[in-house]
Amino acid sequence: MGGSLSAKKRQREAQRLAAQRDKKERKAERKAEKANREPGVEGEDPDIAGIVPGPQPLPDEDEPGR
């Protein structure tokens, strides 16, 4: 019975290492995208750039669930 526990532990460890590797790759991709992004206007928050304040357009009446 001891052998099956070790095999499960090795499998969990392999999954953990794969998840770490995937996370590291995604982080590198985000960093590259950020470096290649065009600079915005100085002092403007990139999260809200291009948002126009004021009344919002009415939702379509044809949407299901209304």
Mean pLDDT by 10 residues, the chain (66 residues): 80 97 96 82 78 83 60
Report the domain count for the chain. 1
- Residue 56 forms part of a structural domain: no
- Residue 7 forms part of a structural domain: yes
Q: Are 41 and 49 in contact (CB under 8 A)?
A: yes
Q: Are 49 and 40 in contact (CB under 8 A)?
A: yes
The reported pLDDT for the residue numbered 17 is: 97
The reported pLDDT for the residue numbered 62 is: 65
Q: Answer yes or no: pTM beyond 0.85.
A: no
Could you tell me the residue range of the domain that residue 12 belongs to?
1-32
